[in-house]
Amino acid sequence: MGSGDIRVEQLSSLEQLLEFARLPYQVYGNRDAWWPPDVQNEIDLLAGKSLLSTYLEMAPFCARRGGRIVARVSAIINRRYIEHWHEPLGHLIHFEALDGADDGVAAMLEAAVQWLEARRMRAVRSGFAAFLDYPYAIDNYGSLPSFLLRGNGPSYHRYFKEAGFFTEKGQVDYTASLTPEWTVRYRGISDAASAAGVRVRSWREYGFLAAIDAWTEVTTAAFDRHWGWHPVTKAEVRPMLTALWETPVADLSMLATIGSDVVGAVFSVPDLSPMLVKVRPGARLDPERGGGTRGALINIGVLESARGRGVALAMTARSFLAMAERKMRFAGYTLVLDDNWASRHTALKVGARVTGNFVAYRRDLATAQRQ
Residues that bind ligand COA (CB under 6 A): 222-223, 226, 300-302, 307-313, 336, 340-343, 345-346, 349
Task: Give min distance, CB of 99 to ligand COA, in A.
Answer: 31
Q: Which is nearer to ligand COA, 61 or 358 (CB)?
A: 358
d(CA 260, CA 262): 7
Task: Give min distance, CB of 332 to ligand COA, in A.
Answer: 12
Task: Give min distance, CB of 87 to ligand COA, in A.
Answer: 19
d(CA 237, CA 51): 9
Q: Which is nearer to ligand COA, 98 or 130 (CB)?
A: 130
Radius of gyration of the chain (CA): 21
Report helix, strand or coil for 220.
Answer: helix
* Phi-psi label, residue 259: left if phi above 0, alpha if psi -120 to 50, beta otherwise: left
Tell me which residue of 258, 247, 287, 291 sits closest to 273, measured CA to CA. 291
Task: Give min distance, CB of 170 to ligand COA, in A.
Answer: 13
Q: Which is nearer to ligand COA, 160 or 215 (CB)?
A: 215
Cα 32 to chain centroid, rounded: 22
Cα dihedral 146/149/155/159 (nearest 10): -170
Task: Give min distance, CB of 298 to ligand COA, in A.
Answer: 9
Q: Which is nearer to ligand COA, 9 or 173 (CB)?
A: 173
Q: Which is nearer to ligand COA, 71 or 336 (CB)?
A: 336
Residue pair 322/251 in contact (Cβ under 8 Å)? The answer is yes
